[in-house]
Structure 1
Amino acid sequence: MGVLPVDNLFLNALEDNLSNEAPLAERMRPLSLSEFEEQSTIVGPGTLLRRSIETDSIQSIILYGPPGSGKTTLARIIARLTRSRFATISAVMAGVADLRRVIEEARELRAHYGQKTILFIDEIHRFNKSQQDALLPAVESGLITLIGSTTENPMFSVIRPLLSRTRLYRLTSLSDQAIIRILRRSLSDKERGLGKFPVEIEPDAVTYLARAANGDARSALNYLELAVLTSPPDENGTREISLTVVQEASQRHVPGYNKSDEHYDVISAFIKSMRGSDPQAALYWLARLIYAGESVEFISRRIIIHACEDVGLADPQALVQAVSAAQAASMVGFPEAKIILAQAAIYISLAPKSNSVVKAIDRAMEAVEKERANPVPPHLKDASYPGAASLGHGANYKYPHNYPDHWVKQQYLPEGLENRIFYEPSGQGEERKTKK
């Protein structure tokens, strides 16, 4: 079943948090707005969202943020405080039939008891367009108050009509200091946390856990719990948690992407750093791409495109370097490919910059799109087949190699575009030689 009423899921889950069987991250979830202090910019005292929750007048919202930032926790707090029926759907499991069922139940509750319905859809980005379309009328009419959560940019993953009927709240990755506070709290909490275990943890170990979690409180708590539970107590009953222990528990975590659209953000930063002629930043973002598991082919394609878009004819060797690097990196693979990609990124970062090629082809494309497609001038038409000459094809064509310097003045553009300028050299690098 894709849909569960709140009393079978959210409220029971809140009680289960207190069970010793639940993972530490579940047990330590904030149960009230006062405990939910790490996202104070959107739900702190006096904020619009906080007031709407406290007055039970919440409208349709989408909670957008990376894993472990508190989206589901906030939804559970709302479930505890609202007088509305609170239903929940996992977009991974539910379909249109599940949506229709909860909408029909909402209609009956409104008609017979005057009770409102709040529907929480976890991972709403997993719903396709038809599923989101099925939800739209109920949200538009106010029959359903929607709370959607997503780790993906809703501007790309949620249909525009649904976006226009909801308010977007962005939850941010938690800071290292915020995660350290959460870890310390879990170590001292005897009811819900690890306070019943005498634990001595090195300060460097706590700091490492916070950094390894990369803004994800759930991951940090999972790492800590594993470290504590797998460390045997000494003769005094104390569990000693060293930096080495937490490194093992977190699998020596290397920061990757903590949300899907960060893939695009990091590659954007990489490209803009090369465009901005900053080899230090380009190398850093390249390392982030490599550590995140991006393929040689993906990174190589971006370097090749950048070599044409932002260097172009200011240094024609940039494209040669980029293509050669792509071929060489593909041949050797990681880890050695990182050196080849780094060389190409540094070369392009240091190369003179010009976007004259991009502007030139854009002007030509615009002319083709917006202006009349005049015929090819007769002297440029194909004259290679029998009878072409009788049609005037190729007549009066001047073969450039028969002229001094292998150049002769001749019309190549069609009628109406004779004097049109598409390519204008930038005057940068090698283009200085061609700029008149």
Structure 2
Amino acid sequence: MSTLVECPVCGRITTEQAVSLHLDFGCSSAPTASTSQSAAAPLPPVASSSSGPPKTTRTPAEKKRKAAPPTAVRDAPSTSSPAARSAAPPSSKKPRTSTASFLEAAKPLPELVRPRALEDFVGQEHLLGKGALLRALIEEDRLGSCLFWGPPGTGKTTIARVIAKTTSSIFKELSATNATTAQLREVFVEAENVLKITGRKTLLFIDEIQRFNKAQQDAFLPVVEAGTISLVASTTENPSFRVNTALLSRCRVFVLNKLSADDIFRILVRALRLLHEQKTGENLPEAPGPVVKSEPDAGAAPLPDDPDAASAAAAAAAAAAPSAVDATAPSTDPSDADVSLPGPPPAGTSAAHSADPVFAHTGALDPPLLRFLASAADGDARVALSSLELALSATRKGADGGIDREELKRGLRKAHMQYDRSGDAHYDTISALHKSVRGSDANAALYYLARMLEGGDDPLYVARRLVRMAAEDVGLANPQALPQALAAYQATQLIGMPECDCILAQVVVMLAESPKSVRCYNAYNAAKALVKRGEQYPIPLHIRNAPTGLMKQLGYGREYRYEPGFAHPVHQTFLPPELAGTTFLQDDDSIEGKTVDEAALREWEWRAQRGKRWEGRDELEKKVRELEEKAAAAGKAPRAGATGLDAEDGAV
């Protein structure tokens, strides 16, 4: 007997056998029964005979077409007729506006608005912009094996899904977080069989490939080498350290950058448009495109009148981009804006998107609030979309009847920070801190210190590195730097975070503002290099210890002069005769082995001295001439980077 059940999506009554087919067709087809059927007499059982032929299974459509329905059911009015609809009692259960799958309805907003085509992708213009290499390879279906490396929420998986829709190869997707070696072998065998039979290759996407161990990564080598599969992998960690070198050499690496605040703002606006279109079916008009203007910066300092200085400064600025940022020039990057935005959008970037027609239907979700969400996401589009979903579903109301904006901001302000205590962010930031201290930029050093501490890094690790900076970079120029750094390390051990932050900040500023001397550091490195590459010469007998009579007879300690016992200076040698005259320590003001870069010096005079000539120029030029004369007298060619002041190539 067929059992009548209620559809969990639309509430219609159908048979238990047909409910799956009914759901597969989006609640628009498959045999259904009216509510009145549930109260009618049950269907008569099908007669069966043990001697007759075996009963064949018929589809629900065949049953409806061939089986004679009971009288009660046949006489009942159709629920699709106007009379039946008017007579039927109103349903207390509202139909759900959902797709045919509960999994689809359960997807979060970042998954629902994931781009399906390259035209919808936002950001990564260096890879997917017009004429970019990756875009051309995807459109021509000639991608091959590649690896996407970038921070979370930058579009690695989205690019892979776009590739799946455009490639003619068979696409398969696995995650290294739960895939096993057995599953990989199954995919490899299937890919080989498909290639033999149909000639189609298999494109395998592995998410978070760094989670695979060495043996699992090695399993890809033969199939990638043979061309059985094309591997597309993604990783958030440096592949140089987490992916086998052999596998890395067989893949082209594409680096994805962290998204800017303007990119994330555009993603949020696109999400709002999609949600509005799904809810109302209304296609909103496109927003006007952004107007990008190329205008001189009114706030920038004018170039010096000297043409050489101007060209040198321009060359230095070009060489510094994009890794160096001029702190004196105003920033045009929206990501540099204060996270408390609600002011006007950055000029020329988000203005057009702020005027998007969708904002006429979003209520309290206005452009300033969306720009705040974009800044608080710290370059992660997934975090921004999750924050937008939270804002859309917020039920707490403020005094004006809208979303309590301040409460939302407190909950989302820097709730997410892309910082990995054991990954590239850790090492890149401590490198930036060390180099800022070495370059005497206390402001930059404090900034990188705050990024490490607020990102949850170990304060004792930072304190240990400050001890190293005190000896390596400050050295003898400020002998009190090392004791202060050691005191800061001990204080950090005693009180920990967050109280130790000002202690570390004090030492960072002290080290940055101290004069620098690498005299001991360079001298020890020179001695260490000589020991490693040179012969280990015997220690002179006169400075060897002679605790026994035999050793004294052999000459140990003979002719050693105990200098405190003399009333005047005495001379004696301590190095082996083969190393006589070797010098490791150089005077702080010596330029030997150092570079004199005329372009860099002029840039410093322009930026730091406001074009004023450096007072040490005359002394520097004198030392350069003396070094050249010394080299010429010895019959040696000047060392590259150590002799001669050349205004064109900057070599000393």
TM-score range with shorter-chain normalisation?
0.7 to 0.9
Label 1:203 to 1:194 Cα distance change in 2 as closer, same or farther (>3 A): farther
Output aligned runs, 1:225-374, within 5 Å: 225-232=389-396, 240-250=402-412, 252-253=414-415, 255-257=417-419, 260-374=423-537
| CA displacement at 1:89 relative to structure 2 | 2.6
SS in 1 for 2:237: coil
Correspondence for 1:224:
388
Distance in 2 between residues matched to 1:307 and 1:277, nearest whole Å: 13
Are the equivalent residues in 2 in contact too, given 1:24–1:193 (CA < 8 A)?
A: no
Unaligned runs of 5+ in 2: 1-99, 282-360, 591-652
| Cα distance between partner residues in 2 of 1:377 and 1:95 | 65
Match for residue 160 of structure 1?
245
- What is the distance in 2 between the residues matched to 1:76 and 1:227? 27
**What letter corresponds to residue 230 of structure 1 in structure 2?**
A
Q: Please tell me whether residue 93 in structure 1 is matched to residue 178 in structure 2.
A: yes
Please give the per-residue CA displacement for 1:68-118, whole angstroms capped at 9, x wherever unaligned: 000001111111222212222322333444433322222221112211011
Q: Write the letter of the residue equivalent to 1:221.
A: L
Separation in structure 1 between the aligned mates of residue 497 and residue 107 of structure 2, nearest angstrom: 40
What residue is the counterpart of 1:211 in the other structure? 375
Secondary structure of the residue aligned to 2:448 is helix
Matched, 1:420 2:582: yes
Q: How does 1:40-189 map to 2 (within 5 A)?
A: 40-189=125-274
Structure 1 position 397 matched with structure 2 position 482: no
Partners in 2 of 1:278 and 1:204 — Cα distance?
34
Moved over 6 A (4+): 15-18, 191-197
Does the aligned pair in 2 maintain the 1:364–1:422 contact within 8 Å?
A: yes
Could you tell me how far 1:388 is from its partner in structure 2? Answer: 3.4
CA distance in 2, matches of 1:317, 1:30: 58
Range with greater deviation from structure 2 (221-230 or 273-282):
221-230
Aligned-partner Cα distance in 2 for 1:195–1:340: 57
Greater Cα shift, 112-121 or 61-70? 112-121
Unaligned runs of 5+ in 1: 1-14, 429-436
- Is the 8 Å Cα contact of residues 145 and 232 (structure 2) preserved in structure 1? yes
The structure-2 alpha-carbon separation of the partners of 1:414 and 1:289, relative to structure 1 and needing over 3 Å to count, comes to: same
| Amino acid across the alignment from 2:267 | I
> Equivalent residue of 2:578, what SS?
coil
> Which moves more between the two structures, 208-217 or 80-89?
80-89
Report the Cα offset of residue 167 of structure 1: 1.5
CA distance in 1, matches of 2:102, 2:128: 22
Distance 1:300 1:112, change over 3 A: same
CA contact (8 A) 1:66 1:172 kept: yes
- Larger mean Cα displacement after TM superposition, 212-221 or 139-148: 139-148
Q: Which has the higher helix share?
A: 1
User: Which amino acid counterpart does residue 207 of structure 1 have in structure 2?
Assistant: R
Change (3 A) 1:63 1:195: farther
Deviates more, 1:91-100 or 1:55-64: 91-100
SS at match of 2:449: helix
Corresponding residue for residue 47 of structure 2: none
Whole-Å Cα distance in 2 between the matches of residues 159 and 426 of structure 1?
Answer: 45
Distance in 1, Cα, partners of 2:118 & 2:102: 16
2: CA distance, partners of 1:299 / 1:234: 43
Residue number in structure 2 paired with 1:431 = none
Q: Given that residues 232 and 239 in structure 1 are in contact (C-alpha distance below 8 angstroms), is that contact kept between their aligned partners in structure 2?
A: no
In structure 2, distance between residues paired with 1:209 and 1:92: 29
Distance 1:41 1:365 in 2: 44
Letter in 1 for 2:579: L
Q: Structure 1: how far apart are the matches of 2:278 and 2:541?
A: 85
Looking at both structures, which has the greater relative contact order when contacts are Cα pairs under 8 Å and sequence separation is at least 6?
1
CA contact (8 A) 2:397 2:403 kept: no
Kept in 2, the 8 Å contact 1:256–1:291? The answer is no
Aligned-residue CA RMSD in angstroms?
A: 2.8
Of residues 518, 522, 539, the one that matches 1:376 is 539
Confirm or deny: 8 A CA contact 2:376 2:413 kept in the other structure: no
Farther-moved stretch of structure 1 (32-41 vs 86-95)? 86-95
Deviation, structure 1 residue 239:
7.5
Cα 1:252–1:273, aligned 2, differ >3 Å: closer, same or farther?
A: closer
TM-score by length of structure 1 reads: 0.86
Determine helix, strand or coil for the equivalent of 1:190: helix
* Inter-partner Cα distance in structure 1 for 2:470 and 2:152: 35
Quote the Cα distance in structure 1 between the aligned partners of 2:449 and 2:239. Answer: 26
Structure 2 vs 1, CA of residues 256 and 383 (structure 1 numbering), >3 Å: closer, same or farther? farther
Partner Cα separation in structure 1 for residue 277 and residue 381 of structure 2: 16
Is the 2:191–2:229 Cα contact (8 Å) retained in structure 1? yes
SS of aligned partner of 2:177: coil
CA distance in 2: counterparts of 1:234 and 1:277, whole angstroms: 48
Aligned partners of 1:408 and 1:324: how far apart in 2? 40
Instruction: Tell me, in whole angstroms, the C-alpha distance in 2 between the residues paired with 1:117 and 1:314.
Output: 63
Distance 1:24 1:102 in 2: 31
- Structure 1 position 386, deviation (Å): 6.3
Partner of 1:6: none
1:189 CA displacement: 2.2
Task: Flag the 1:229–1:147 CA change in 2: closer, same or farther, 3 A.
Answer: same
Change (3 A) 1:246 1:183: farther
Larger gyration radius, structure 1 or structure 2: 2
Establish whether residue 32 from structure 1 lines up as the match of residue 117 from structure 2: yes
Distance 1:396 1:348 in 2: 45
Q: 1:427 to 1:99 in 2, by over 3 A?
A: same
Cα distance in structure 1, aligned partners of 2:121 and 2:101: 18
| Matches of 2:132 and 2:103, distance apart in 1 | 29
Q: Report the equivalent of 1:7.
A: none
- Following the alignment from structure 2 to structure 1, what is the Cα–Cα distance between the partners of residues 410 and 104? 26
**Cα pair distance change 1:408/1:110, threshold 3 Å:** farther
Deviation of 1:18 (Å): 8.9
